[in-house]
Chain A
Amino acid sequence: GAVVSQHPSRVICKSGTSVKIECRSLDFQATTMFWYRQFPKQSLMLMATSNEGSKATYEQGVEKDKFLINHASLTLSTLTVTSAHPEDSSFYICSAGQARQETQYFGPGTRLLVL
């Protein structure tokens, strides 16, 4: 149980285009999902908290207009990187937790390369 999936696993796009990444909890409902970013050989950094049915909460320094988050259902959150630039190239990872439990389960990540 507690499986989280992401799609796509990797994407290459041209500078200036937008990319959507999906995060799904496969066998449980997640009222809250989290989006992290990880640059090579670095740790994970929390970008935002995605709440089902309400606006996402962004961490300091993360542009909400650039990283659009939609949590349309209890099993799906999407992250859209708008007008992507090479510096947005990174490993984007989502996580989700089950109700009343603190443990967060992570998706396999999405490797984004912006040319």
Chain B
Amino acid sequence: GESVGLHLPTLSVQEGDNSIINCAYSNSASDYFIWYKQESGKGPQFIIDIRSNMDKRQGQRVTVLLNKTVKHLSLQIAATQPGDSAVYFCAENARGGGADGLTFGKGTHLIIQP
């Protein structure tokens, strides 16, 4: 069936470097995408979102890029810090409006090395 997936299960980067986490989705009807950060034993924390009518959105130290042509989503984290170590999930809402649950990708474990 249709799903949201990730290319890399684990990503290790040096503190201070930039990191890029990728996500592929297969539902062409998806119109809203979100990145969440989940620390061990905690619930997902909203990072940034993007609608399908946009291809880039920036937040504080984070940027989300959306390429609808190849159905690809990425999260860029600038100047990584130890506190960025967590599992990152992309999620999709295919029908929008906030009335539907999200479909999550498999997750990428980001490890920040000192």
Contacts and interface: CB of A to CB of B under 8 A. Distances in A.
B43 A106 contact: yes
| Chain B contact residues, majority secondary structure | loop
Contacts of A98: 98
Interface of A: 4, 6, 32, 34, 36, 42-46, 49, 59, 93, 95, 97-109, 111
B46 A34 contact: no
Given A43-B107, A46-B103, A101 B42 contact: no
A106 B41 CA distance: 13
Interface stretch (B57-65, B69-77, B89-97): B89-97
22 contacts: A6-B43, A42-B106, A43-B104, A43-B106, A44-B89, A46-B102, A49-B99, A49-B101, A59-B101, A93-B44, A99-B98, A102-B98, A103-B34, A103-B49, A103-B98, A104-B34, A104-B98, A105-B46, A106-B43, A106-B45, A108-B43, A109-B43
Of residues B32, B34, B46, which shows the largest number of chain A Cβ atoms within 10 Å of its Cβ? B46
The number of chain B residues touching the other chain, given as a range, is 20 to 34
B98 A97 contact: yes
Given A44-B104, A49-B101, A102 B45 contact: no
Nearest to A93: B43
Of residues A36, A45, A104, A107, which shows the largest number of chain B Cβ atoms within 10 Å of its Cβ? A104
